[in-house]
Chains A and B, each alone.
Chain A
Amino acid sequence: MDRRSFLAGSAAAVAASGFANAQGADEIRIGAPLPLTGPLAPEGRKQKRGYDLWAAEVMKRGGIEVGDKKRPVRIIYSDYQSATPRGVQACEFLANQEKVHFLFSPFGSGAAKAGSAIAERYKIPMLAATASSREVYDQGFKYLFGTFTPNETLTDPIADLVVATAPAVKKVAIFSRNDLLPLSLATALREGVKRHKLDLVFDEKFAIGALDFAAPLTQMRAAAADWIFVGGYINDLIQVRTQMRELGLKPQVLTMIAGPAYEEYIQALKGAAENVSSASWWHPAVRYEGEDIFGSTQNYVEAFKAAFNGDIPDYAEASASAVGAILQLALKKSGTTDGPAVRDALAAMNAKTFWGPVHFGPTGQIDSLNPPVFQIQNGKTVVLLPDEIKQGEFKLGIS
């Protein structure tokens, strides 16, 4: 399934690059540089699924309403092989040669930041589905919009929750991958720890690609932390949790971002995932109604399951579909594909969508959402915050 759609995507990219002139003068062309091969390929594939689902839904309805016409949409993918400079070049290629109307940002905060310069240069609105760090949006650019809320919106609620439900928890350990997103999360949590006057007993980074965490975990054990926070990608987090068990670390609270949001994390760890808490920008358990093409969170989840063999969407996939749906709303509003006009429509947007309420702040980052906090209980994900969609109570104790 993956390989087929991947090959289709590559074929599309190769074919597209051979046709510099638009095939249909009517169609709306969106450039989507993605890491379809290389280390970030798993993430790139997720984004592609999200985009493809949205595009398919659009075509099912006959196209995007722009002014008084319905126009077809074509997403032009370009594989930048997980190398950011290639990603930047891909953005440039898409803007300059393929003459796309809009850009979907390359994956991740670093690449999004770099690519946004191209969008700004060419005055093409760029929507970033996976860029959460504030640093991405701090260049004063006008053409960048992102659907992930800033990182402290993930760490603050959970810090408040832990302090409220477990006053005995005083010693905190922060362990983060030396990478843009995890570092940002760590910084945000550090602020939370200071705010609540907790005791930071361990605060370290681990190298990208590190496989062995025995030494830092040993130090954490010695420091007797009650609350361990680990920021990294799914394979790091699985390995850290496994080694925690081997070394006998049993804190009261274990929070990990961003692995537990994925089914694979729970599958890989089985019982060891119990009571691990996490937060993410979206979760299929949330319930929102929307004026977008999908109509509601539940509809979106059903549509995703139908298209992809019963798989449940995760936040990255949903975010990718969301940027498409949001762009669609902006096009409907502005009635034109002209870059600056659509950009203004995005900046002024105040809409309800399956993703949640959408409003972009002055830097272009979304500021209208409350990301969910959840915990794995009995092998299932239970949403703890925000209160409107709460499904259970916070449990303490890691075995």
Chain B
Amino acid sequence: MHARLQGWVLPVAILVIGAIVAYGLPIALSNQTYLLRLATSLALLVTLASAWNLVGGFTGYPSFATAAFFGLGAYASAVMQQFGWSALTGYATAAICAALLSAPFGFAILRLKGHYFAIASLMLVSILKEVTTGWSNVTGGGMGINLPGAGGDPLAIARISLEILVMLAAFSVALSLVISRGWLGFGLSCIRMNETAALSAGIDAPRLKTIAFTISSAICGVAGAAYAGWIGYIDPSDVYDVMWSVRPIIAALIGGVGTVFGPVVGSLIYLVFEELMWRNLLTFGTGALGVLIAILVLVMPGGVLPSLRKGKVS
């Protein structure tokens, strides 16, 4: 009883901290929309990295499908809003669409391992991108979608976007924590360490993997919807950009794959670097980022947090 109560304290604390940050940060930063934008980007990356971590970290399946569900969520929400539905309906639709697609798709490709799984997950991004572009009656095709309300008060939009994304990030991390401590997390880590042994121990690996994949994808979908509302305009080459799959992975790698707070730390470090690169190295920004990532992978493949907590099993 005492232990169970304790188990809920930290996740709830995370949510509370999230709420404080969400509502307090805009006031602290007042009119600095640039800083608000950075903070919102950070929250978005934390959300995606944390969600990815469920599949890539806890379960050990290197998924590149993040961009697919991110884009799907963005479009689901944008299309609904274009037809006059509220933003809230947009978010709900995003989560539902992502879940409906990810469950069967995940179930199918989670049978694959290693590179094969990675490639199959990556292919989904290309497929969704092309299909979205082709289905122009609904999605506007290459023209993209301008979300209603894009021309409104800039400060209000910045503030609301920050609040939504920070809460989403807090939710993602708290959920990650709850899962890691529960039966799902236990099952996933068994699968990660030795799937065959886990199966013979009676763990329903296919079911658990699919659950993790679906939860992860749903979160990415909602993040996409939030992104669409924030920027006000989406098109296939933006939201289905493979970098949306890669950035969360890098963030998790930096901070520590498989740890709960690794994605948070890693996202912060990564964004600082990316912003520095973009501001100062115009032509070679992406290349410099590549060098950085390569160095990171070579020098510290475990990530920052595990290196700090030597001896703890990730």
Contact = CB atoms under 8 A, between A and B. Distances in A.
A184 B238 CA distance: 20
A37 interface: yes
B137 to A, nearest CB: 12
Given A85-B238, A114-B232, A121 B152 contact: yes
B282 A96 contact: no
A378 interface: no
Interface in B258-285: 278-280, 282-283, 285
A139 B130 contact: no
Given A97-B34, A113-B146, A178 B141 contact: yes
B104 interface: no
A10 B76 CA distance: 37
Contact of B134 (A36, A139, A178): A178
Interface string A100-111: 000000000110
B233 A183 contact: no
Given A96-B33, A121-B151, A85 B144 contact: no
B203 to A, nearest CB: 42
B289 to A, nearest CB: 12
A83 interface: yes
B150 interface: yes
Interface in A119-144: 120-122, 133, 135, 139, 141
Contacts of B144: 84, 110, 113-114, 180
Contacts of A369: none
A180 B146 CA distance: 13
B237 to A, nearest CB: 7
Given A79-B282, A110-B144, A178-B133, A88 B151 contact: no
Interface residues of A, number: 40
A6 to B, nearest CB: 8
Contacts of B202: none
Nearest to B153: A121
Interface in A177-195: 177-180, 183-184
Interface in B199-240: 231-233, 235, 237-238
B142 A183 contact: yes
A179 B236 CA distance: 10
Dominant SS among interface residues on chain A:
helix
B143 interface: yes
A88 B150 CA distance: 11
Given A81-B285, A114-B233, A178-B134, A208 B142 contact: yes
A37 B282 contact: yes
Contacts of B34: 93, 96-97
A117 interface: yes
Nearest to A17: B279
Contacts of A139: 146, 150-151
A79 B141 CA distance: 25
Interface string B85-119: 00000000000000000000000000000000000
Contact of A109 (B141, B143, B283): B143
Given A85-B238, A92-B154, A93-B34, A133 B279 contact: no
Given A84-B238, A88-B233, A117-B233, A180 B282 contact: no
Given A17-B279, A88-B232, A96 B143 contact: no
Nearest to B231: A85
A151 to B, nearest CB: 12
Nearest to A113: B146
Contact of B136 (A37, A85, A117, A183): A183
A207 interface: yes
A376 interface: no
A121 B154 contact: yes
B247 interface: no
Contact of A120 (B33, B134, B143, B151): B151
A272 B37 CA distance: 50
Contacts of A122: 154
Given A120-B151, A179-B142, A183-B143, A10 B232 contact: no
Given A178-B133, A178-B141, 12 more contacts: A83-B241, A88-B232, A92-B33, A92-B37, A110-B142, A110-B235, A113-B233, A117-B232, A120-B151, A121-B153, A135-B143, A208-B142
Interface of B: 33-34, 37, 130, 133-134, 136, 141-144, 146, 150-154, 157, 231-233, 235, 237-238, 241, 278-280, 282-283, 285
Top 9 nearest A-B pairs (CB, nearest first) are A114-B233, A117-B150, A120-B151, A179-B142, A121-B154, A180-B143, A117-B151, A10-B282, A96-B33
25 contacts: A14-B279, A17-B279, A84-B235, A89-B37, A92-B33, A96-B154, A109-B143, A110-B142, A110-B144, A113-B144, A113-B233, A114-B231, A114-B232, A114-B233, A117-B146, A117-B151, A120-B151, A121-B152, A121-B153, A121-B157, A178-B133, A178-B134, A205-B134, A207-B133, A208-B142
Interface of A: 10, 13-14, 17, 36-37, 79, 81, 83-85, 88-89, 92-93, 96-97, 109-110, 113-114, 116-118, 120-122, 133, 135, 139, 141, 177-180, 183-184, 205, 207-208
